[in-house]
Chain A
Amino acid sequence: MHAGRVVRSVRLFTGLVLMAFVVGHLANLALGIHSLTAMEAAREHLMDPWRSGFGQWLLLGSVVVHVALGLYSISARRSLAMSRTDVAQLVLGLLTPPLLLNHVVVTYMADQVTPDFDSAYGMMLAIYWKFSPSYAFQQLFVVVIVWIHGALGLYSWLVLKPLWRRIGALVMPVLFAVPILALVGFAESGKEVLEKLANDPAWKTHLTDNIVSIVKFTSQLDVFQARVLTGYGTLLLIALAVLAARVLRDRLTPVRVTYDGGLSAQGRRGLSVLELSLLNDIPHAHVCSARGRCGTCRVHVDAGAQSLSPLNDIERGTLERVSEGQPVGEGVRLACQARVLGPGVAVTRLLPAYADASAARQPQEWAADAPAGEVAQ
């Protein structure tokens, strides 16, 4: 199997694992609307599986692999031409690890270093609402950021499936409701915790003791955090450096692609046809933003087929899927996968620029291979 395809599947799988964890976590938080006790009761079922044995390793492994593959995909890029959703995905994804690290360290590592540390919801909420509110801002940000990143990823994967027509109406409200309910739960349980702190001195003493017990280890935890952050920063810099180096190297050999409708695009060698379209403001459908899943960017190569990178696994699979059992048309390529390596390429866009996810779900309805310019009329 092609490496690109493996990377894509692994990234999707780890993303799904992380999304499952986040959904559980946020749902648990949302129970705060009811009461603190409900949160604690549900924690057993929603959170504890991730803290023991297999769950723990699955989660940790998924985090590492997902972040690593994200950085790898940055370094594998050839330009920063992408859709707005993709920019949001990238930036939010990059922001998540540094913002989330603190939370992970306090709830997870603290357990390891001081076995009697109480990392229950009551404790954490008291820290956020009373003892150190600056963490709360950080965590609130992270909830929103992680959720948007995950929801965008999940949505753009699911929306291409024929299944979406049946489950879309269910999934969309959930995608909206989960973070809002979690935030409301956070606010409500915060009220409860503050009240309890004022009225229950015994609990307050317990919390203070608890915090004192962890403060001893703060420096140790800080060192650990700093190390992880440095490592992450270095990897990110390396990824960006690789990207920059590739851009600078390719810059020297400009290529040109002509489109139907008399349009033409200019750019560096090695860019995909779709990237050239985006960089030159040429209307070109791309629902899955260059992941090679949707097939809406497909073009007919009129000339210069030998100057394009050869067909890869991802592309072949998608082309076969959208042609629905018919043999794949001669000279049809995915613009997001076909990279321009030489001169003389001329293409015709096969789908109109406004093609949406339904073009990926029901390719036969959009299969009238009319050039985009004509349909747009």
Chain B
Amino acid sequence: MTRLLRALFAGALLLAAAAPVRAATPVDHGLAELAMSALADMKTRIETLTGDLAQAPDEWRKLNAQTREALMSGTGVRGFTYLLILLLVGSGVEWLYWTYAYAPYRLIESTPVSSPRQAFRVGLRRLVFLGSGLLLFTVAAIGASAAFTWPPGVQELVVAATLLVLVLRLAWVGVALVLAPGHAKLRLVPIEPRKTRWLAAAAMTIVLLLALGRFVPDLLERIGNAPRAASALRLAAATVTAVLLIAAAFAFLGRPLQSAGAGPKLAPPRLSRPFLAVLAIIAAYALWILSSATAGLIAAITAIVIALQMGLREWVFFFWKEEADKESLLPSIVLSAARFLVVVAGIGACAFALDTPVSQLATSEKPLVMFGLRVLGVAALMLLTNMIWIGIKTSIDHRLRQIGSPDSHDEPGPGARLLTLLPLLRVTMAVLLTAILIMASLWALGIEITPLLAGAGVVGLALGFGAQALVRDVIAGIFFLAEDAFRIGEYIESGTNIKGTVERITLRTVALRHHNGPLHFVPYGALGTVRNTSRDWVIEKFNIPMPIGIDSEKIRKMIKKVGEEMKADPEIGPLIMETLKGKLYRIDPGVKIFRCKFRTAPGKQFDVRAQALKRLEAALGKMGVGFADGTQTVLSPPGPAPAT
């Protein structure tokens, strides 16, 4: 559905492009009158055509005699000799080129190609080779033609003949690159291999017909002075082309390629592609006959643009067959760029077909012309913005998918910051792009945006004063995130003594979950100094009091041993970064204080400490030593009791 919509949109654009030109001719009739005059035009056109057809044979005979006379003379012979020399010089130079270029060209052709994208790259290289050959031929032939003094009237003929050769060779380069008959792997379009040669032949025939229909009647009109024969010839060429196109539509558009192994699928009924194509061909042909050559041409261009728009997705994704999901970055960008290019090329072709004086249009004063041009500008802006948006969005989405969704039970990984920043960036870019698009569109439509900008500036200033705190929060937030002060999942403590795990980051606030449950929403501006306890490592220290009479060295060794055991423990060992150690720290009356210390991953110190205490207690028990009991024992000196 969207495909069709897009195609229709492109068609509408083309019509919009044609509108200013139509508008250039003054039309001040009513609708009915317009229709009547169109009908009258149609009638005269048909009458002219039939008249031309009726008188063409006579003119043709006359022309034939003239041509024979002109050719069968010294002039004709000289013209032909010169033409042969041109072709010889051109092909000689090209042959010389190919004696050097053929081996590398064969190398390119025989490169093993595994994907259509690789085939595309190979195609570009082939284009360079084939194109250089053609260019050399052209330059040599044209250069040689400048060396002769041509008999009068012959030069136009020779130029037409050379152009015909060039057009055909150019078409062949295109066919050889895109269809690559004989090299299935190098093909750039999804098409059944056995149809390739036929399609190539059909394409070449149609190009030949079109080229003949373009050059020969012109010559007849200008040199032969036979406008009716020319008109009849044009009609013949157009008719044969239309018939061939219809035949080709049935032969090649029959059924879209089924991917192997997909199995039969019940597709919903829809208009078949050959039917649509034939409809378009007939419409263009009818317009050509009934209205004017230009109208037919524009109809044909519109039809081609619509057809391309409908087929572009399939064609572009043919190059990215292996990527299953249709939302990957590059194809999407290529697709939208291709759509854009096709429309622009269509508009250009229409302008060319209409013989539009482009430079005059740009400076035209007529309001409708100006409006049409501006609408065109806006459309171009929208397409461009859309392309940029697709680029940004798909790349951000792609990156987000790579990082994966956040899991609150896991450690905050290195991607946590991107996970925080990217959605923010996406929204910001959307807002920014929309704003720019609106501004640019207004500007393109000719609406003065300077006062708007100035007004926005004043209002912005006022709002800025009012929303100072808001602005401060947002900007502070950007810096916090840019400096990587905290990420989702980390335990932080703000300058205002609010502690908690970072749960959510928004444009203005950060949500901190306190370990007791409450959720704090802290504006960035109020965050102040941030103390992040979830980074890299923590050191934990604790004291154990021992009886004063204990051997300090023995206790120190015992603590060290417990530390080593803990490090070796499979469950708790990996958390420990520096093993438990203890030393005598202070001697108080009646008690020796030992200070113990270890280093762990952040947030794990509590578990490790509990474990350490438990093990220490057990070890002490085994040694038969208790902790200091905290009471002072008063010992009376031994001796005989005082006699009473």
Contact = CB atoms under 8 A, between A and B. Distances in A.
A104 interface: no
Contacts of A99: none
Interface in A172-224: 172, 175-176, 179-180, 183-184, 186-187, 190-191, 194
Report the contact-size class of chain B (Cβ under 8 Å from the partner): 20 to 34
A261 B111 CA distance: 12
A180 B111 contact: no
A175 B89 CA distance: 11
B76 to A, nearest CB: 6
A180 B92 CA distance: 10
B184 interface: yes
B96 A172 contact: yes
Interface in B93-149: 96, 99, 102-107, 109-112
B10 to A, nearest CB: 37
Interface in A325-372: 352-356, 372
A283 interface: yes
Contacts of B74: 129-130, 133, 190-191, 194
A44 interface: no
A64 interface: no
A102 B57 CA distance: 34
B77 A137 contact: yes
B82 A187 contact: yes
A252 interface: no
A355 B107 CA distance: 8
B81 A186 contact: yes
B88 A133 contact: no
A183 B107 contact: no
A170 interface: no
Nearest to B185: A281
Contacts of A281: 182-184
A261 B112 CA distance: 10
Contacts of B85: 180, 183-184, 187
B72 A353 contact: no
A128 B77 contact: yes
B319 interface: no
B125 to A, nearest CB: 13
Report the contact-size class of chain A (Cβ under 8 Å from the partner): 35 or more
Contacts of B102: 356
Contacts of A183: 81, 84-85, 88
A52 interface: no
Given A140-B84, A176-B92, A183-B84, A133 B110 contact: no
B88 A352 contact: no
A339 B109 CA distance: 26
B326 interface: no
A93 interface: no
Contacts of B112: 261, 373, 376-377
A355 B96 CA distance: 18
B60 interface: no
Contacts of B73: 133
B58 to A, nearest CB: 25
A112 interface: no
A143 B558 CA distance: 110
Nearest to A179: B88
B77 A376 contact: no
A133 B106 contact: no
A244 interface: no
B106 A283 contact: yes
A134 B107 contact: no
B109 A283 contact: yes
A180 B85 CA distance: 6
B297 interface: no
Contacts of A180: 85, 88-89, 92
A42 interface: no
B96 A140 contact: no
B586 interface: no
A120 interface: no
A353 B106 contact: yes
A283 B102 CA distance: 14
B398 interface: no
A64 B106 CA distance: 37
Contacts of B78: 187, 190-191
A90 B92 CA distance: 19
Tell which of A175, A179, A187, A190 has the most Cβ of chain B within 10 Å. A187
Contacts, number: 83
B443 interface: no
B71 interface: yes
A19 interface: no
A136 interface: yes
B252 interface: no
A136 B82 CA distance: 13
A283 B110 contact: yes
B81 A133 contact: no
B320 interface: no
A176 B110 contact: no
Contact of A353 (B76, B110, B182): B110
B110 A134 contact: no
Interface in A263-311: 281, 283, 285
B80 interface: yes
Contacts of B183: 281
A190 B76 CA distance: 12
Contact of B110 (A187, A191, A354): A354
A144 interface: yes
A281 B187 CA distance: 13
A354 B104 contact: yes
A372 B111 CA distance: 10
Contacts of B107: 352-354, 376
A376 B81 contact: no
B88 A187 contact: no
Given A176-B92, A180-B89, A354 B103 contact: yes
Nearest to B100: A356
A352 B89 CA distance: 32
Contact of B81 (A134, A187, A356, A377): A187
B84 A376 contact: no
Contacts of A140: 77, 80-81, 84
A106 B73 CA distance: 20
A343 to B, nearest CB: 25
A52 to B, nearest CB: 31
Nearest to B102: A356
Contacts of A190: 74, 77-78, 81
Nearest to A137: B80
Contacts of B76: 133
Nearest to A282: B110
A355 B103 contact: yes
Contacts of A355: 103
Contacts of A261: 112
A130 B78 CA distance: 12
Contacts of A191: 74, 78
Nearest to B96: A172
A186 B85 CA distance: 11
Interface in A150-187: 172, 175-176, 179-180, 183-184, 186-187
B77 A136 contact: yes
B88 A354 contact: no
A67 B81 CA distance: 27
A180 B81 CA distance: 10
A285 B71 CA distance: 45
A134 B72 contact: yes
Nearest to B76: A133
A180 B112 CA distance: 41
Interface of B: 71-74, 76-78, 80-82, 84-85, 88-89, 92, 96, 99, 102-107, 109-112, 182-184
13 contacts: A134-B72, A172-B96, A180-B88, A183-B81, A190-B77, A190-B78, A191-B74, A194-B74, A283-B109, A353-B107, A356-B103, A376-B107, A377-B111
Given A354-B104, A377-B112, 15 more contacts: A129-B77, A140-B81, A180-B85, A183-B81, A190-B78, A190-B81, A191-B78, A353-B110, A354-B103, A354-B110, A355-B103, A373-B112, A376-B107, A376-B112, A377-B111
